[in-house]
Amino acid sequence: MARTTGSTGVKTKETIRRAAIKRIYQHGFEAMKLRDLADDVGIQAGSLYNYIKYKEDFLYLLLKDVLVELLDGLAKEVEGPETPLAALEAFIAFHLRWHTARREEVFIGNMELRSLSPSHSAEIVGLRETYEKKLRDILEWGNKDKVWKVRDPKVTTYAIIAMLTGVCTWYKPRGRLSQEQLIEVYRELVLRGIGLLKK
């Protein structure tokens, strides 16, 4: 790929980011060579070091940026609802929309956590736990208001997030179900699972 004439540092950085996501998704982080990444972007390998000092730091920043964006997006979606049910439905819809749109980043986040240093891994796990706590808080809110009766909100949080995130392994934008239809299917599954919908 030839570098675009007159491209700015910001554009180049984003181009590197997108190329790295694609390469890590296809080949894995350990197999990614910076020289190959430079070729993908159309810059000299030496120039790449203006943007990536250390390979592991790049992965850490990539995963951190994704999770910060995830948390920011979630905050906008679930701060408004005034009932536990509305908040839960907003969480389900947001999670599915975001994760089906960012499948490559989600895959990398799940598979490449092992490639981070212990300190970086701990920080990424902490951000994940912050996200999980948003859902756990909603479930506990529903328990408190007697909207539902979830025996173990923490375990239920893990189960719901695992189920919702699993969509990334098979979802295709041009598949049989639209995104909104998919959200409705998963909404029903979650609400049935916590006892709000009967068979």
Rg (CA), the chain: 20
- Burial readout 127-165 (b: 16 or more C-beta within 10 A, e: otherwise): bbeebeebbbebbbbbbeeebbebeebeebbeebbeebe
The confidence score (pLDDT) of residue 2 equals 44
Q: Which positions ≥6 away from 137 have C-beta within 8 Å?
A: none
Mean pLDDT of 14-31: 90
Q: What is the DSSP letter of 198?
A: -
Query: How much of the chain, in percent, has pLDDT values that exceed 70?
Result: 95
Q: Which positions ≥6 away from 126 have C-beta within 8 Å?
A: none
98 pLDDT band, cuts 50/70/90, is very high
- Alpha-carbon span 58 to 13, nearest angstrom: 11
C-alpha distances out from residue 168 to 17, 110, 114, Å: 20, 11, 20
pLDDT digit string, tens, across residues 110-129: 899 999 999 999 999 999 99
Task: Give Cα 75 distance to the centre of its chain.
Answer: 14
The confidence score (pLDDT) of residue 193 equals 94
- Alpha-carbon span 165 to 156, nearest angstrom: 14
pLDDT digit string, tens, across residues 154-177: 999 999 999 999 998 888 888 888
Q: Which positions ≥6 away from 1 have C-beta within 8 Å?
A: 19, 39, 40, 41, 42
The pTM score is 0.86
- Interhelix angle for 153-165 vs 179-193, to 10°? 160
